[in-house]
Amino acid sequence: MNSHEKMLGILDLFDSGEDAVAVTFDEMHERLGYTRSTLYRYLKTLTDAGLLTSLPSVGYMLGPRIVELDYKIRTGDVLIRAARPVMEELASQFRGIALLCRRYRFDVLCVHQESGTDTIHSNYERGRRRSLLHGAASLGILAYLPDHQLRKFYGLVPEQFGTAGLGATLKEVKATLREHRQRGWVSTTGDVTPGVTGVAAPVFDSRSEILGSLSLTLRDSRTNSKMIEDVAERVVFCAGIISKTVARS
């Protein structure tokens, strides 16, 4: 890695789990292996930029610039602005929780949530990342990965594809994902959160490449096959509106 990549790698220390709120200098030194002088220099640059901040006896934490950038994303992101109105309507109509997710490397990141009920709670909130292999929101993206990216992902964790029920071989995985594409939507029950069903459809960019997914989470006790089909029809329609709006932006 060059020096810029090494410096930015410090930020990855805050992406290693829910408990990675603060990291001390000594912890960084041990985990990264940089010389102390180099680490001090990188930390000063990141702190001066507002990307990190520090407190005595606590350590380094993500800085105020991160909060500022998050606000700008929430208010200015084309995808979120296109999705918010239809998500509000979708969540209210079916009394569920609508989620907007983006593909992030070989994971999925929730970028916006709208709730139309207080009877269920989704712990998959904005800023939370999870695997591409579990949940409707994830599978709605995975099904549309370009072939070369799917091959690369499968090559990294083939056993996880099997555990997720997607297939024991790459050929079987492709067949499963082809079925999802032909139907146009994905539904899973209890795959991520017990007691809930998720229905998701893909969202595309202006080049018709997979950008993310729109999903709706519902209580199992309120769902049956007819309702799921009705919800899926609406989710697909709303995802199409988002895709068209993004393409015109």
Please name the fold of domain 77-248.
Answer: Beta-Lactamase (3.30.450)
> What pTM did the predictor assign?
0.86
CA atoms within 13 A on the CB side of 131: 13
Residues of the chain with CATH 3.30.450.40: 77-248
Looking at residue 48, what is its pLDDT? 97
What distance in Å separates the CA atoms of residue 167 and residue 159, rounded to the nearest whole number? 9
Q: What CATH number has the domain spanning 3-68?
A: 1.10.10.10
% of the chain surpassing 90 pLDDT = 78
Which residues on neighbouring strands pair with residue 87, listed in sequence order?
none
Tens digit of pLDDT for each residue in 122-175? 777 788 888 999 999 999 999 999 999 999 999 999 999 999 999 999 999 999
Of 248, 247, 246, 249, the closest CA to residue 83 belongs to 246
Residue whose structure tokens are 């606590």: 58
Residue 59's pLDDT band, with cuts at 50, 70 and 90, is very high
Looking at residue 149, what is its pLDDT? 96
Is the pLDDT reported for residue 16 higher than 90?
no
Of 133, 229, 217, 226, the closest CA to residue 185 belongs to 229
- E-only strand ranges, 41-96: 52-55, 59-62
Average pLDDT over residues 189-195: 80
Average pLDDT over residues 218-224: 80
Six-digit token string for 23: 């990291």
Mean pLDDT of the chain: 92
Is the pLDDT reported for residue 230 higher than 60?
yes
Residues of the chain with CATH 1.10.10.10: 3-68
